[in-house]
Amino acid sequence: MSDTTPSESAVSISISDDIATITIDDGKANALSHAVIDDMNAALDRAEAEAKVVVLVGRPGKFSAGFDLSVMNQGGSAVTDLVQRGAELCVRLFMLSRPVVAVCTGHALAAGAIMLEAVDHRIGVDGPFKIGTNEVAIGMFLPQFAVDLAEYRLSKRHFSRATMGAGVYTPSEAVDVGYLDEVCGEDELLAKAHEVAQGFTGLHPTAFALTRKRVRGPLAEKILAEVAADLSGFEVHT
């Protein structure tokens, strides 16, 4: 079956050939807001029930620029509530019972880059785009969940600069750093993502989910156990 969620949502889902394609397109920066997180979780619920693989796609030029600045500028509990929900979404992607392929359609900064660390295979579009966790450069410490996912996924050679040094990379550089697995031209992007996703459909879903728990479960449990306490001191320094 194949259909799409209502157009008023920034998140849409279509399902075909056992592949659920989830697209985020808010017409702007593809920021993670409470509404986007809600709709992402609803789409992932459906994907787990009806598909064997998830393909996560951004809008042209923007995968995601991170958390919603209108919330982040409020400070206090508004910030910590949103960042905690973002952390929980990243852990859900990290532990999803289906393989997740991310199509990085452009810039992926802060929470956008962290989502890339959480999924299984990342395909980026070649071009003048920026990818990385730039929190330290804009007055925020990198939350522990982001450090943990970076340590799990990024190259040890690049880890310090990518975290403490707020390193931002081109898509080609991001392959060596560990944010992406491969880069291709814009005209090849969706076909390549479908090819990778089709390869994942051959995996036995129960065996995949059980192995996922053994490989990633301990880190996911650590992140979820620590996230609230870690974010209690989270703030933006100007």
Instruction: Compute the distance between CA of residue 207 and CA of residue 195 in angstroms, rounded to an integer.
Output: 22
Whether pLDDT at 47 is above 90: yes
How far CA 51 is from CA of 2, 16, 87, in Å, comes to: 11, 8, 24
- Kindly state the tokens that stand for 70: 């209108």
Q: What is the pLDDT of residues 88-118, one digit of tens each?
A: 999 999 999 999 999 999 999 999 999 999 9
- Kindly state the tokens that stand for 192: 């390549």
Domains of the chain: 11-186+201-231 (3.90.226.10)
Q: Among candidates 141, 164, 162, which has minimal Cα distance to 79?
A: 141
Q: What is the pLDDT of residues 131-188, one digit of tens each?
A: 999 999 998 899 999 999 999 999 999 999 999 999 999 999 999 999 999 999 999 9
Please state the φ and ψ torsions of residue 121, each to the nearest 5 degrees: -140, 135
Are residues 149 and 90 in contact, defined by beta-carbon separation less than 8 angstroms? yes
Indicate the helix (H) or strand (E) that contains 130: none
